[in-house]
Structure 1
Amino acid sequence: MIALTTSELVARAAEHPFLGEHLAMGTGAQQGHAVAHFGGVEIGSAYEPIFDISVHGLAQSLSSEPESAERFGDELGFQAITRRTDGERPEPFEPLDYATDDQQLVALDRMARAMHAINFFGAQQHGLLFLRVHERLLKSVKYDHGRHFSTVLISFGLNPARVVIELPPAAVAHKTFLGYLTKSYQLYGFKVAGNLPNAGQILSVSDMARLDFIKMDAGAALRDSMVKPLVGYAGRLRIPLIFSGVRDAAQFDLLQQYDVRFVQGPLFALHSDRAA
């Protein structure tokens, strides 16, 4: 199958009864990218890379060749970030701040996820697309989590298996709910990542919730001296562990001492032109 361009995917979205009202090709700085409009607000996509630093056996400091992102390793994928793009400079956007009720939150979330997928796949980007799901959204949708988005992607000719639904810490903290959500999203073709609310919560990640990825805040893990235990336990579970929120070279250098494989955070976005 020939991959569709961003503009072709936006044209397909125009046939969708809801997305067609809100998605369009951007202009100016957003030219060539899909944007979404609602209530006088324009939002766009940004992507933060997730690196596999074990690929080239890297053990180096950020002090060398700071302009080269390739030194981090290969990209596992990218986490989508929603930004408001109608001001003088793009800024983070949180749909919850603009949703007056749960129904509107669901609509805004679906619109943003479709936009991120169109921009990601339309650019023929490689790797996996990580998409965050808000806790309130999970409670607003009562059942069949993932069914609607999977149907939309398939109608666009896109593969849900390249999308990772990222669950918030509050969902991971409830073992039974986590198991239900994971199975539901996986049933509709997605991979699932869970953000640990704390390092000890990894003990609740079992066969009931066979996650595809586990994510842990790097700063919290380093502060509590839990990087080594987390890496060891995730290895026994055979679930890839991603340390997110890496902010500076000192954190990155410390993580490398514990055979950490996957890293993500503002530090790496600074060195990736695809994250802007």
Structure 2
Amino acid sequence: MIPPTIPNLIARAADHPFLGEHLVMGTGVHSGIALARFDGVELGSAYEPIFDISVHALAQSLSSGAEGVDRFGDELGFQAVTQRLDGAPFDVFDPFDRIADDQELVALDRMSRALHAINFFGAQRHGLLFLRVHERLLKSVKYDHGRHFSTVLVSFGLNPSRVVIELPAAAVAHKTFLGYLTTSYQRYGFKVAGNLSNAGQILSVSETARLDFIKMDAAVALRDAMVKPLVGYANRLRIPLIFNRVVDEPQFVALQQYDVRFVQGPLFTAHYHDRTV
């Protein structure tokens, strides 16, 4: 089967009235990628790499640091970020700052997720696509979380199993709600990641909420001296643990001392964009 291109996927989006109204092919400097036009703003996709630094880590010295990521790290996947294309480079667009109506926000979120999927899969990127979901959206959709997006992806000829729905810490904090959300999204073919606001929140993760990934702020974990306990507990749960928001070299070196496997953050994003321009 020939993988679909971005123009192919934009054409398929036209079969969905709302998506067909807002998703278009870019022109000029944005030619070749899909854009979304919403409320007078042009939106695009950016992708933050999530690296598996264990792949060749034994052959590297700690001094190789972040510059060596592209030599010994493989991308587990990428986290999508919605950007305004009329702003500064990598200017992130946060619709939650400007939209009060929850149903309008649900529609915008669905549009953004479709946009990111089109640009990700249409460009034949490898690995997993991580997509954040906001607490307001989880509460606005009453049941069958994941059903609509799964239907859209299947209509595009795309596989939901390569998409990771990333839940906010507020959802992870409630064990029953977390269990329901995880089961619902996985029922429709997705993988699920949960963000922790603090190390203790990992105790909410159990067999009743079998997450596929756990994410933790690297700075918080290092500050509280919780990296080693978190790695140990996640290993016992057999759930991969991603330390995100790694901002500088000292944090990266400190994480390597605790057999951390997956990392993400501005340090790697800047390096990734520098070597892919």
- Shorter chain as denominator, the TM-score bin is over 0.9
The more displaced of 9-18 and 185-194 is 9-18
1:96-115 correspondence to structure 2 within 5 Å: 96-115=96-115
Segments of structure 1 that go 5 or more residues without pairing to the other structure are: none
TM-score (norm 1): 0.96
1:78-97 correspondence to structure 2 within 5 Å: 78-87=78-87, 89-97=89-97
Partner of 1:12: 12
2-side partners of 1:220 and 1:94: how far apart? Answer: 23
Contact 1:46 1:275 in 2 (8 A): no
1:172-191 correspondence to structure 2 within 5 Å: 172-191=172-191
1-side partners of 2:261 and 2:109: how far apart? Answer: 30
1-side partners of 2:69 and 2:121: how far apart? Answer: 21
User: Once superposed, what is the RMSD of the aligned Cα atoms?
Assistant: 1.6
Partner of 1:161: 161
Contact 2:163 2:190 in 1 (8 A): yes
CA deviations 1:149-204 (Å, max 9, x no partner) are 00000000000000000000000000000000000000000000000121011111
The more displaced of 120-129 and 7-16 is 7-16
1:97 CA drift (Å): 1.8
Matched, 1:144 2:157: no
TM-score (norm 2): 0.95
Partner of 1:129: 129
Partner of 1:54: 54
Matched, 1:225 2:198: no
The structure that is helix-richer by fraction is 2
> What letter matches 2:180 in structure 1?
Y
C-alpha distance 7-62 of structure 1, shift in aligned 2 (>3 A): farther
1-side partners of 2:52 and 2:65: how far apart? Answer: 18
Contact 1:47 1:275 in 2 (8 A): no
1:16 CA drift (Å): 1.0
Matched, 1:27 2:27: yes
Partner of 1:253: 253
% identity of equivalent residues:
75
1-side partners of 2:100 and 2:66: how far apart? Answer: 47
**Partner SS state of residue 157, structure 1:** coil
1-side partners of 2:197 and 2:88: how far apart? Answer: 35
Partner of 1:75: 75
**Partner SS state of residue 57, structure 2:** coil
2-side partners of 1:30 and 1:213: how far apart? Answer: 33
CA deviations 1:110-149 (Å, max 9, x no partner) are 0000000000000000000000001100000000000000
**Partner SS state of residue 171, structure 1:** helix
1-side partners of 2:65 and 2:153: how far apart? Answer: 41
Partner of 1:206: 206
Matched, 1:263 2:263: yes
1:98 CA drift (Å): 2.7
**Partner SS state of residue 47, structure 2:** strand
The more displaced of 1-10 and 184-193 is 1-10
1:81 CA drift (Å): 0.6
**Partner SS state of residue 272, structure 2:** coil
Matched, 1:216 2:216: yes
1:29 CA drift (Å): 2.7
> What letter matches 2:39 in structure 1?
G
Segments of structure 2 that go 5 or more residues without pairing to the other structure are: none
C-alpha distance 256-143 of structure 1, shift in aligned 2 (>3 A): same
> What letter matches 1:263 in structure 2?
V
Partner of 1:244: 244
> What letter matches 1:271 in structure 2?
H
> What letter matches 1:81 in structure 2?
V
**Partner SS state of residue 272, structure 1:** helix
1-side partners of 2:64 and 2:235: how far apart? Answer: 30
> What letter matches 1:142 in structure 2?
K
